[in-house]
A = this chain, B = another copy of it.
Amino acid sequence: MISIKSEQIYELEKHYRISLINSLIGYKSLNLLGTSSNDGITNLCLISSAFHLGANPPLLGIVMRPQREHNDTLNNIRLTGQFTLNNVLPAWYMQAHQTSASYPAGVSEFDACGFKKQYVQGFKAPFVAQSTIRIGLDVRELIDMDINGTTIVIGEIVQILTDDAMIAEDGTIDHTKAETMTVAGLDAYFLPQPVGRLAYAKPGIEPRQLTKEC
């Protein structure tokens, strides 16, 4: 067993530290984040920081890195107040990873990486046609973090585009059927296998598996 303490973390080689810290919390939600400028120039990037904030109102958060001149995604989010999250499938996860390359301003990762845009009337941000779970969000809050220059974007879910078959009877998304992938750290991609769904936990009652399939 090893124990790495604060001082040692700061002394680690930069890339080693980034890989370690990024991968500590385990598997992360993996989505393609779609935006558009007011002129209709689209942007697409991979994001693994999405977290559930609450179901009523239906809210989630994402973390955007410190603003730089070419950070078109955060600019678009600030200007249009809308973005989309779209799940990543094994058939094209390499193309999804490729959206993280630094393309020059004016080049859309939709075109450069082979993704098809899908639009919904009255909603500015583009969805990814190849995805099986697509979420459209209105920005509700932007929290600029003094501690490290990132911005936490809080969005309200206002659009859900999917297939009926992807939603289980109780409302839970069937991510096995949807072929949703997950990521650990910066670049390790995984496809989860179901272990079990468990019954609502109550004190004094043994935990119980509802189904083997998820």
Q: A: which residues have CB within 8 A of B?
A: 1-6, 9, 12, 14-31, 48-61, 63, 85, 87, 90, 93-95, 97-104, 107, 112, 120, 133, 135, 140-141, 143, 145, 147-148, 150, 152, 154, 156-164, 167-168, 170-173, 175, 180-182, 184-203, 205, 207, 209-210, 214
Question: Can you list 8 contacts pairing A with B, beta carbon distance less than 8 Å?
Answer: A1-B163, A2-B163, A18-B56, A97-B201, A102-B203, A103-B203, A107-B203, A173-B184
Q: Is the CB of B52 within 8 A of A21?
A: yes
Given A21-B55, A27-B182, A201-B101, CB of A15 within 8 Å of CB of B63: no
Given the complex, which residues of B lie within 8 Å of A49, measured CB to CB?
Answer: 51-53
A160 nearest in chain B by CB position: B4
Other-chain contact of A23, B53, B54, B98, B173 (Cβ < 8 Å)? B173
How many copies, total?
Answer: 2
How many angstroms between the C-alpha atoms of A18 and B54 in the bound complex? 8
Other-chain contact of A172, B12, B23, B97, B164 (Cβ < 8 Å)? B23
Other-chain contact of A150, B25, B53, B63, B190 (Cβ < 8 Å)? B53
A180 nearest in chain B by CB position: B26
Q: Is the CB of A26 within 8 A of B87?
A: yes
Q: Is the CB of B90 within 8 A of A195?
A: yes
How many angstroms between the C-alpha atoms of A112 and B173 in the bound complex? 31
Q: Is the CB of A181 within 8 A of B195?
A: yes
Q: Is the CB of A19 within 8 A of B191?
A: no
How many angstroms between the C-alpha atoms of A72 and B158 in the bound complex? 33
Q: Is the CB of B17 within 8 A of A209?
A: no
10 closest pairs, A vs B, by CB? A190-B192, A19-B171, A16-B171, A94-B207, A101-B201, A188-B214, A20-B171, A27-B182, A4-B160, A23-B173
How many angstroms between the C-alpha atoms of A19 and B1 in the bound complex? 38
Q: Is the CB of B58 within 8 A of A17?
A: yes
Told that A12-B171, A25-B60, A94-B198 touch, could you supply 16 new A-B pairs with CB distance under 8 A? A6-B156, A16-B171, A19-B172, A21-B58, A23-B172, A25-B85, A26-B30, A26-B87, A28-B51, A48-B52, A51-B61, A53-B63, A93-B196, A94-B207, A101-B202, A175-B188
